[in-house]
Amino acid sequence: MRLRFQLILLLGLSSQHAYAEISIQDVSRSHHPGEVILFVIALEKQPTSGLIRAFDQTFILYPGDEQETMEGLVGIDLDVDPGTYPVQFVLKYPDGERVYSRTIQVLEKEFPVRRLTVDEKFVTPPPEVLDRIQREAKTVRRILSQRTPTKLWQGEFLRPVPGTATSSFGKRSILNGKPRSPHTGTDFRAGEGTPVKAPNGGVVVLATELYYSGNVVILDHGHGLFSYFAHLSKINVAEGDQVQKGQTVGLVGATGRVTGPHLHWTLRLAESRVDPISLMEVLSMRAAQVGP
């Protein structure tokens, strides 16, 4: 793994202002599709708010752990092609906005292929469930497109179960010999009934049973960041509940389209499909920089 700690100095200019230099630190594992980048911006003057524009999405900035800093998480979606992409840092002050620009080089990545055998009804669903599948997909898309303005998480993200990851993010799936969408989450080894812990603070925005994902809990961590836990044997929370880091939200199971008990954790960051392990490692790297 290659850790990235890159310091970039930028000078913001406009027709009305000449701004002092700022430094922008890039904390990430890599710049491949599916990765999370944490930008840490050191400033001479703290803005009232700010955002990052990248990959046709908007990511919200928040005050950093150090004085006169802002931080922001950016996701490189799984389908982003290799190439050079513009990034804008928009800092808002009482006297107006200050915009700083740079570019990101996204690198090519080949994802492995997995072949699974599952109940045929989950590969070619019977006609009577197609309306249900479409309704559920629409509901999930609507939820994951939201941007709660309040940041509800703090610090590092916990591993929701003790087990190791057994299926890597981004794998291309062939189910019963038929190509399907890539795996947009990470699977963790865990026995039936293992408690699933909230990786960080948030609000429960969905707690129900879905056709493909079985029993599901979705947590809104704020700023467009969501955790989606699937295939649970039991749901321990209700929609609208506020949960704390480490709180049990459900139990591992084998509901929905699965080959056996495990935890599936999907992460969305401003609708970008990113690897939960990437987020965990990036925030851990940042915490090590800041120290106790």
Q: Yes or no: is domain 113-279 CATH 2.170.190.11?
A: no
Architecture of domain 4-109: Sandwich (2.60)
- Whether the full predicted model's pTM is greater than 0.85, yes or no, is yes
CA 279 and chain centroid, separation? 7
Quote the tokens at residue 45. 């003057």
3-state DSSP assignment of residue 146: coil
Spans of all domains in the chain: 4-109, 113-279
CA 55 and chain centroid, separation? 15
Using CA atoms, how far apart are residues 88 and 102, in angstroms rounded to an integer? 7
Quote the tokens at residue 202. 């948030």
For the chain, the first-to-last Cα distance in angstroms comes to 25
| Minimum mean pLDDT range among 1-5, 59-63, 212-216, 263-267 | 1-5
Question: What does DSSP assign to residue 38?
Answer: E
3-state DSSP assignment of residue 121: helix
Contact between 63 and 70 under an 8 Å Cβ cutoff? The reply is: yes
Quote the tokens at residue 170. 């981004």
Contact between 116 and 173 under an 8 Å Cβ cutoff? The reply is: yes
3-state DSSP assignment of residue 30: coil
Instruction: Check residue 129 and give its pLDDT.
Output: 87
| Minimum mean pLDDT range among 122-126, 150-154, 286-290 | 122-126
Domain pair 4-109 / 113-279, same fold: no
Contact between 87 and 76 under an 8 Å Cβ cutoff? The reply is: no
Using CA atoms, how far apart are residues 91 and 254, in angstroms rounded to an integer? 46
Contact between 283 and 225 under an 8 Å Cβ cutoff? The reply is: no
213-229 pLDDT, tens per residue?
Answer: 999 999 999 999 999 99
Quote the tokens at residue 81. 């092609």
